[in-house]
Amino acid sequence: MPSGDVPAVSNLDVERFRERFRQMCRIREFEKQAIAAAEQNLVLGAIHPSIGQEAVAAGVCGNLRRSDIILSTHRGHGHTMAKGAEPLPMMRELFGRDGGYCQGKGGSMHIADFAVGMLGANGVVAANINIAAGAAHAIKLKREDGVVVCFFGDGAINRGPFLEGLNWAGVFGLPILFVCEDNGFAATTRTAAMTSGAGPAARAEALGIPAREIDGNDILAVEEAARELIETARGGKPRFLVARTYRLTGHTSADAAPYRPAAEVEERWLNDPIESCRRLLEAAGVPAAELTAVYEAAAHEMREACEQAAATGWPDEALAYADVQDVGDPRKGAF
């Protein structure tokens, strides 16, 4: 990976950013193992990596309480893990094995762990926005001191739930932070080519929700914005964050991304959030060997998770219809 000089940041909370670095390393290594497993046909369904976008997940979720709620997208491994989910049941879920968070029924795009406030990833673009608004409204009605963070991509702003969800949050003053991970692409199409107007922030502002735009690969910028906006939203003032980032892989693990020039991707590697955080910590006096050890520990942890998941058996067939509502045969009017 590229390296470069980074000026020292005065009063840097070294321990906080050590933890952010560790979390980003864990997210990346989890996805590298998941991609390798997909290549071995161990993963059921598609893998949508977030490699290159880890700073958004680590910086935002690192400022949430365990009881706070998040909703994610089809590209949700990083958010899920950063909110506190464990890699082994996550990997088992990807493999469709026993002990997965959803008993193997959800797969990569529909992991949920209510115990850590992860209300669910969602494979339908923008569908999580209205669910997030509903969760935030429930918090308000119960007069709880919680907040909801809803992650979605820039492609989601062109779908109906975006307007509906933001409008509802604005009208009712909901405790919610909308986080648009703007990586410039809606699947294989450049979002700018399919988006009219000034983009995500302008649309949020038009609905009366204050918006902020940051470099989503700069962990310092993400950390500062997330801390402030989450606490503002917690008070019933919805906020909107545009984190400009870039996925360094294709849309899925099987996508070679020929629609992007190789030089563009190579240039974007220069803004790799993990390497940037490493340089930040080194400038603050953290030994390079210590940071290398953190990355190696993350790699070891995720290799073990992958190996254990692969060695886990399949769910009991009796679980196939568990959690499935049976309302009867609609042709007989039994519902």
Closest listed residue to residue 20, CA positions, set 78, 72, 71 = 78
Predicted structure pTM score: 0.93
Share of the chain above pLDDT 70, in %: 96
Cβ atoms of 120 and 128 closer than 8 Å: yes
Residue 162 confidence (pLDDT) above 50 = yes
Alpha carbons 53 and 27: distance in angstroms, whole number: 10
Q: What is the pLDDT of residue 10?
A: 65
pLDDT band at 274, cuts 50/70/90?
A: very high
Over residues 143-158, the pLDDT tens digits come to: 999 999 999 999 999 9
Q: Residue 1: pLDDT above 70?
A: no
CA distance 24 to 78: 8
**Interval 190-228: pLDDT, tens:** 999 999 999 999 999 999 999 999 999 999 999 999 999
Nearest CA to 228 among 215, 241, 216? Answer: 241
Q: Supply 292's token pair.
A: 């290398």
- Residue the block writes with tokens 């469709």: 96
| DSSP symbols for 113-153 | BGGGTEEE--SSTTHHHHHHHHHHHHHHHTT-S--EEEEEE
How large is the average pLDDT for residues 161-181? Answer: 98
Residue 113: pLDDT over 60: yes
Superfamily of domain 19-309: Thiamin diphosphate (ThDP)-binding fold, Pyr/PP domains (3.40.50.970)
